[in-house]
Structure formats: structure tokens, C-alpha cells
Amino acid sequence: MGKKNSKEAKLLRREKINAKRKAKFSLYADPCPRPDSEYLKHYGFVPNINFFRNAAVAWSSADMNIALRTKQQVIDYVKEGSVELLGTRSGQKVVYISLFKTGDYKSTGSKYNPTMDTHCDNEKAYYMVRHPEHLCSSVNGKPDMEVFRLYCPFFEKVNTFMVPVDRMEELLTDKAATTEELVAIAKWDEAVQPLNEQELDNLLGSFEEHMLREYYEFNENGLIIEEFLSEEGETLYQPKKKDSTWEQAITAFPFMVNGNSIVVPRPKAIKTFSLLSGEAN
């Protein structure tokens, strides 16, 4: 019998394999610490990596990774340098943040087809930071959708905004944002990414005049177009939407924390409005 197949060699290999398994799957193999305050739920084993640190809600699985934070946790997470900041035409540094909320919601329906009654008075706001490398990862020049699906669950245009870093304290809320507070976040999202002349022409050309008048603000001089000056001195533009238009196009996704699951309504179940198509989805 060769040395590789000896009883001692087999035992040594088995011990090495068991050690690797224990290190990977043991709940005591460096799990992510739970925050001292504003902790809500960590599901099972959550690895101690930057993505999950100081998160009120953490979920790690082969299908998706979720890290939901309170307002202060998000501010601390960003200020600690845990996420790459994005530059904008406005010259401001921003971070992509998706808006969520939870409260004493009621769950109905079956175990495999649950529904939610999301009407309650004690809703609290939670946020998920979107890392640029997860939004724009690529393989051979093509978007890596596996990375996106894993790290960006529940990402939709209606609940995700560019938030200026120096405005987070002002714009983010502890309680679920009111309609006016949501509109304020959405307006800053537009303000930090204004359009050049060609982009403005393309946008306005995609609407018929009656639609522009329905969704955008007009005065005696016509469509109101706000102007912004870039760091390079270029004049940039944004047509001014009505607040009523914004109210139909933005939302925070409700979620429920259960014993072994996180329940979030399907995006199509949350009635919102597409500014480009003019249709509800």
C-alpha cells in the first residue's frame, strides 16, 4: 500500500476536510457581530464581511444577500468608507440607497403564497446601500447578472436613489418617510444627475406635449426647465416635474421579519408609475 493510501494518510486527509467544513459552515466560524443597538434580525450564519457589518437585518444565502440598516447605521457605514462613493455631474459625491420600511404588518394567505397588509402607524425606515461593483460588475465586458442578483435583491427604480453624502442626515428618516420626504429624496436624485442639451432634447422628444403638461410644471413662458452648473462650467438642465408626478413614481418597499424568512411584496404588487411610459405597473 502506497503512503498516499495508508490508513494514516487517509485519516489526515479526512481531518483536513472536516476542518475546512467546520470553518465554512460552523455558526461559530467568525459570524458577523450583531449591532449593539437597533438590531432586528440576523438569519442563520452571516459571514463577517464588510457587506453585512453593522446591519440591523442580515441574510446570507446562495440566492441573495440582504443587509438592511437604520438611518444612523447607513450614515456610519458610508462615513467609515465601507462603500465606494460615486462622482456626479453636479460635483457632489453620492451613494445609491434603496428605501424600505417595516412595522406591525399582518400576514395572510398560505405559507407558500403569503400576502401582506401594510397599513399601520408605527412604520420604521430601513435602507440598503447598493455598492457600485455589484451594480456594474462585468465578465468579458458584459454585465455579471449573477453578482447583481446575489447582492441587489429588491432593487427597482422606484425605491432606489442617488443620495448626496452631505445630505444623508437631512434626507434620510428614522420613521418611514412621508410622501413629502420621499419627493425630497427623488428631487435630489435628479439634481445630482442633470442633462446636457442633447439628453434634454432626447427626453423632451419622447413625450407628446399633452403628456409634458400633465406630468411637468409649466408657467406663462412654457415648460419650466431648471439649470445647473457643472464643476467644468457647463450648463446642465432638468425639466421640473410636478410633485403629483413624483408621488406616483416613488415608494419605499415594505417588508416583514418572520421567524425564518423575510417577506417583501413583488414589485408588480406595489402600484407605481413609470415616468417614461406613462403607465402604472
Q: pLDDT band at residue 105, thresholds of 50, 70 and 90?
A: confident
Strand partners, 109: 114
Span of 39-48, 110-119, 219-228 with lowest mean pLDDT: 110-119
Higher pLDDT residue, 147 or 5?
147
222 and 260 belong to one structural domain? no
45 and 169 belong to one structural domain? yes
pLDDT at residue 277, as a whole number: 40
CA 153 to CA 253: how far, in whole Å? 12
178: Cα within 13 Å, side-chain hemisphere:
2
Span of 98-102, 142-146, 230-234 with lowest mean pLDDT: 142-146
Averaged pLDDT score across all residues of the chain: 85
pLDDT at 275 over 80: no
In terms of residue numbers, what domain contains 56? 27-177+252-271
Q: Distances in Å between the alpha carbon of 266 and those of 189, 254, 255?
A: 24, 10, 10
Mean per-residue pLDDT, 238-252: 90
In-domain check, residue 5: no
Q: Distances in Å between the alpha carbon of 29 and those of 47, 99, 220, 244?
A: 8, 31, 67, 51
Q: Which amino acid is residue 227, in one-letter code? A: E
CA 61 to CA 130: how far, in whole Å? 18
In-domain check, residue 206: yes
Q: pLDDT band at residue 268, thresholds of 50, 70 and 90?
A: low
46 and 91 belong to one structural domain? yes
In-domain check, residue 228: yes
pLDDT at residue 141, as a whole number: 61
On whether the CB atoms of residues 227 and 90 are closer than 8 A, the answer is no
pLDDT at 18 over 90: no
pLDDT at 279 over 50: no
Gyration radius from the chain CA atoms: 23
99: Cα within 13 Å, side-chain hemisphere:
28
226 and 135 belong to one structural domain? no
Q: In terms of C-beta density within 10 A (0-12 exposed, 13-18 middle, 19 or more buried), how is residue 77 classed?
A: buried
CA 118 to CA 137: how far, in whole Å? 34
Mean per-residue pLDDT, 165-180: 96
In-domain check, residue 84: yes
Q: pLDDT band at residue 25, thresholds of 50, 70 and 90?
A: low
pLDDT at 274 over 90: no
Q: What is the pLDDT of residues 29-78, one digit of tens each?
A: 678 999 988 999 999 899 999 999 999 999 999 999 999 999 999 999 99
125 and 260 belong to one structural domain? yes
In-domain check, residue 16: no
CA 23 to CA 241: how far, in whole Å? 54
135 and 35 belong to one structural domain? yes
Mean per-residue pLDDT, 10-38: 73
pLDDT at residue 119, as a whole number: 76
57 and 141 belong to one structural domain? yes
CA 111 to CA 234: how far, in whole Å? 56
In-domain check, residue 12: no
pLDDT at residue 120, as a whole number: 79
Place of cell 409649466: 218
pLDDT at residue 9, as a whole number: 74
147 and 221 belong to one structural domain? no
pTM: 0.81
245 and 218 belong to one structural domain? yes
Three-state SS at 226: strand
pLDDT at residue 22, as a whole number: 62
Span of 40-49, 61-70, 110-119, 166-175 with lowest mean pLDDT: 110-119
pLDDT at 278 over 50: no
127 and 201 belong to one structural domain? no
95 and 36 belong to one structural domain? yes
In-domain check, residue 32: yes
The fraction of the chain above a pLDDT of 90, given in percent, is 52
Q: How many CB atoms lie within 10 A of CB 225?
A: 15
In-domain check, residue 263: yes
Structure-block grid coordinates of residue 259: 421567524
CA 196 to CA 193: how far, in whole Å? 10
207 and 262 belong to one structural domain? no
On whether the CB atoms of residues 159 and 186 are closer than 8 A, the answer is no
For 93-113, the DSSP string reads EEEEEEEEEE-S-EEEE-SSS
Number of domains the chain is built from: 2
